[in-house]
């Protein structure tokens, strides 16, 4: 059994009518608030006005960083860090999905660094401090509202890199499922595929787990499989949105990964797809995940896949391991490509093998090694083969 430390200090306000707590929570960290948001969806859904009202009501000073891109760019991080330095900001308020929250995390760290924030993402310089972060989540997917990581893109170098530090974990998050009612069916499907992938990446690890944590993960995967199609078909279904939102946070907030000691596999591969082709993170994961599953399925992994298939998709437990495992992977494909109607191949996205060799190389070097040390260790050749299965 592994040792671990449980420390998930994000305070969560879940459900509606809780924004009256926003001002008082921000005030605990100071007076000067930088509101960070994306391309304007928060204005369309009326959330921006509500937030500004609360900030004013609390007598706080408001500054803004807008236009944070999906797959957030380091240029936005640098822009925000500069505002923090110039305006002596006390606290950051991220309102949006994972891209906004991730960018905000590095803005907060960038405040304490004199050079290009890209150095913090690439580990060239250590993250030494971070402004306190409060979030209002508008899209259930990444779990950034309760984890300490962020993923930043540099278009100049075709790099998309994830990096984390406990100091970047949001102090307070407002999770109101109603704020996700306007998320499009496509983004809902992609976000759900992302949540599902976080659980898959954690569930399939060679370092062992606890029965209790396995059961939590299986329950959360079942939750996504049950409710994602409902939210896609009925965007204002509160039960579906609430289940997805709370699962997004718990899938990646370090709770289920307490026993796990290995690198994820599909995420480093997907980050290359987003870096080179700017595709939506969850879509890339949806395309990669079942191919990766087929690639790593063998006599040594069949039992774990069988357990997954039986527990999450109700596959017949009397089937031999390999048969049950394959039925489970087919069920994953049905969920992603039929129930959620996500695009099945890279070819349909106009992506061919042009960059596969360099992308595979980068995916394997993402953590500084030469192989992706995941559930099954993958060499660049293996990763390239998986990309080719996606065509
Ligand atoms: O730009 P705005 O106007 O905010 O619009 C966004 C964006 O166009 C829109 N949207 C968000 N909430 C909405 C809404 N539209 C209507 N109504 C709402 N309520 O949806 C689009 C996508 O938003 P984005 O934030 O990019 O999506 P997501 O939450 O999926 O975040 C994806 C990013 O997070 C990273 C991904 O790599 C990607 O860059 N990840 C972060 C992780 C983390 N911090 O731990 C882990 C993940 O594995 C992931 O890598
Ligand atoms: Zn993800």
pLDDT at position 188, please? 98
What's the pLDDT band for 31 if we cut at 50, 70, 90?
Answer: very high
Q: Tell me how far the alpha carbon of residue 306 lies from the centroid of ligand 1, in angstroms.
A: 32
pLDDT at position 1, please? 61
pLDDT at position 258, please? 84
Instruction: Tell me: do 98 and 197 sit in the same domain.
Output: no
Whether 105 lines ligand 1, by a CB cut-off of 6 Å, is no
Instruction: Tell me: do 249 and 375 sit in the same domain.
Output: yes
Q: Residue 350 pLDDT > 80, yes or no?
A: yes
What's the pLDDT band for 367 if we cut at 50, 70, 90?
Answer: low
Mutate to test the pocket of ligand 1, among 45, 68, 99 (most ligand atoms within 8 A of CB): 99
What's the pLDDT band for 263 if we cut at 50, 70, 90?
Answer: confident
Q: Which of 115, 145, 179 is the last residue of a domain?
A: 179
pLDDT at position 167, please? 97
Q: What is the mean pLDDT of residues 24-30?
A: 98
pLDDT at position 245, please? 98
Domain-located, residue 112: yes
Domain-located, residue 335: yes
Which atom of ligand 1 approaches the CA of 162 most closely?
A: 50
Instruction: Tell me: do 136 and 200 sit in the same domain.
Output: no
Percent of the chain past pLDDT 90, that is, above it, reads: 92
Measured distance CA(210)–CA(240) in Å, rounded: 28
Q: Which of 152, 179, 206 is the last residue of a domain?
A: 179
Instruction: Tell me: do 119 and 240 sit in the same domain.
Output: no
Domain-located, residue 352: yes
Quote the mean pLDDT of the chain.
96
Domain-located, residue 3: no
Domain-located, residue 1: no
pLDDT tens digits, one per residue of 75-128: 999 999 999 999 999 999 999 999 999 999 999 999 999 999 999 999 999 999
Q: Tell me how far the alpha carbon of residue 144 lies from the centroid of ligand 2, in angstroms.
A: 9
Q: Residue 204 pLDDT > 70, yes or no?
A: yes
Q: What is the mean pLDDT of residues 363-370?
A: 79
Instruction: Tell me: do 98 and 171 sit in the same domain.
Output: yes
Domain-located, residue 6: no
Instruction: Tell me: do 206 and 355 sit in the same domain.
Output: yes
- Name the domain count of the chain: 2
Domain-located, residue 174: yes
Instruction: Tell me: do 142 and 190 sit in the same domain.
Output: no
Can you give the CATH number for the domain in which 270 is found? 1.20.1090.10
Instruction: Tell me: do 164 and 212 sit in the same domain.
Output: no
Can you give the CATH number for the domain in which 63 is found? 3.40.50.1970
Whole-model pTM? 0.98
Q: Tell me how far the alpha carbon of residue 189 lies from the centroid of ligand 2, in angstroms.
A: 13
Whether 328 lines ligand 1, by a CB cut-off of 6 Å, is no
Q: Which of 179, 204, 236 is the last residue of a domain?
A: 179
CB within 8 Å of 181: residues ≥ 6 apart = 235, 236, 241
pLDDT tens digits, one per residue of 130-161: 999 999 999 999 999 999 999 999 999 999 99
Instruction: Tell me: do 175 and 238 sit in the same domain.
Output: no
Q: Residue 261 pLDDT > 80, yes or no?
A: no
pLDDT at position 183, please? 98
Instruction: Tell me: do 383 and 234 sit in the same domain.
Output: yes
Domain-located, residue 2: no
What's the pLDDT band for 210 if we cut at 50, 70, 90?
Answer: confident
Domain span at 169: 11-179
Q: How many CA atoms lie within 13 A of 306 on its CB side?
A: 15
Q: Residue 234 pLDDT > 90, yes or no?
A: yes
Which residue's CA is the nearest one to ligand 1's atom 38? 71
Instruction: Tell me: do 250 and 283 sit in the same domain.
Output: yes
pLDDT tens digits, one per residue of 297-333: 999 999 999 999 999 999 999 999 999 999 999 999 9
- The question of ipTM being above 0.85 is answered as yes
Q: Tell me how far the alpha carbon of residue 253 lies from the centroid of ligand 2, in angstroms.
A: 12
pLDDT at position 4, please? 86
Whether 39 lines ligand 1, by a CB cut-off of 6 Å, is yes
Token pair, residue 286, equals 């949806």
Q: Residue 2 pLDDT > 80, yes or no?
A: no
Instruction: Tell me: do 273 and 372 sit in the same domain.
Output: yes
Q: What is the mean pLDDT of residues 345-355?
A: 98
């Amino acid at each position: 059994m592994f040792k671990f430390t449980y420390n998930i200090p994000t305070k969560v306000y879940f459900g509606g009518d809780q924004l009256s707590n926003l001002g008082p929570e921000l005030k605990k960290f100071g007076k000067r608030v930088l509101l960070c948001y994306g391309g304007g969806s928060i204005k369309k859904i009326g959330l921006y006005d509500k937030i500004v009202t609360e900030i004013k009501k609390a007598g706080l000073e408001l500054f803004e960083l807008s236009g944070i891109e999906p797959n957030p760019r380091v240029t936005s991080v640098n822009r925000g860090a500069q505002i923090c330095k110039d305006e002596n900001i006390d606290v950051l308020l991220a309102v949006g999905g994972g891209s906004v929250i991730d960018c905000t995390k590095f803005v907060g760290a960038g405040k304490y660094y004199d050079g290009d924030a890209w150095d913090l993402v690439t580990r060239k310089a250590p993250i030494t401090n971070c402004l306190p972060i409060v979030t209002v989540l508008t899209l259930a997917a990444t779990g950034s509202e309760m984890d300490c990581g962020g993923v930043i893109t540099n278009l100049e170098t075709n790099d998309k890199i994830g990096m984390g530090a406990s100091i970047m974990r949001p102090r307070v998050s407002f999770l109101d499922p109603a704020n996700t009612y306007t998320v499009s069916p496509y983004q809902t499907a992609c976000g759900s595929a992302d949540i599902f992938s976080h659980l898959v990446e954690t569930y399939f690890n060679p370092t062992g787990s606890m029965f209790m944590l396995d059961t939590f993960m299986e329950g959360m995967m079942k939750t996504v499989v049950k409710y994602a199609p409902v939210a896609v078909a009925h965007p204002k279904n509160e039960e579906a949105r609430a289940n997805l939102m709370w699962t997004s946070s718990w899938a990646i907030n370090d709770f289920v990964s307490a026993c796990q000691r290995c690198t994820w596999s599909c995420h480093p591969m997907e980050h290359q797809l987003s870096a080179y082709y700017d595709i939506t993170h969850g879509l890339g994961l949806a395309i990669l995940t079942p191919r990766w599953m087929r690639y790593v399925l063998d006599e040594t992994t069949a039992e774990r896949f069988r357990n997954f298939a039986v527990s999450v998709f109700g596959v017949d437990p009397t089937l031999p391991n390999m048969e049950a495992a394959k039925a489970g992977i087919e069920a994953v494909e049905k969920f992603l490509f039929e129930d959620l109607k996500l695009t099945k191949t890279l070819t349909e996205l106009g992506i061919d093998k042009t960059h596969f060799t360099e992308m595979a190389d980068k995916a394997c070097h993402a953590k500084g090694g030469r192989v992706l040390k995941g559930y099954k260790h993958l060499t660049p050749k293996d990763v390239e083969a998986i990309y080719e299965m996606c065509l």
